[in-house]
Each structure stands twice: as C-alpha cells, then as structure tokens.
Amino acid sequence: MNLIVNGETKNFDENSSLQDIITSLKIEDKVMAAAVNMEIVKKDNWSSFKPKDDDKIELLQFVGGG
C-alpha cells in the first residue's frame, strides 16, 4: 500500500499498523504524535490502527529550543 508519510510517498505491507510503520521507519523513540488524514491517532491505538492506501500520515516530534 502507498502512504504519504510527512510528505513523501512510501510503500508498506497492506496489513501494516501505524505502529508497524513507525517501527519500520526506525523512529519509534522520536515520534510523540501521529495524525492520519489530519486526525490525531492516540498512541494507545497505534498498534491497532490500520491506514488505508493513499492515506496521509504526519509523524510529529517535539523539539526543544528557545
């Protein structure tokens, strides 16, 4: 399945959960929030949430600064 992750088209297995996608991108320790098609998906639901082909996923990190 093709997904748009942070503006880039990427290909994932059809049965991938949001958690699987985050893990495969090797960013699980950095992602603090996720939105699919502009709707927040709670972290507790990442392992059960299954995106659909052509969904737009935004994976957000919090960055300190001042």
Question: What are the domain boundaries of the chain?
Answer: 2-60
Contact present, 44 and 53 (Cβ < 8 Å): no
Helix%, strand%, coil% for the chain, nearest 5? 15, 30, 55
Token pair recorded at residue 48:
């059960």
Give percent above pLDDT 90 in the chain: 86
What is the CATH number that goes with domain 2-60?
A: 3.10.20.30
pLDDT digits (tens, 9 = 90+) for 20-45: 999 999 998 999 999 999 999 999 99
**Does residue 66 carry a pLDDT above 70?**
no
Q: Average pLDDT, whole number, for the chain?
A: 94
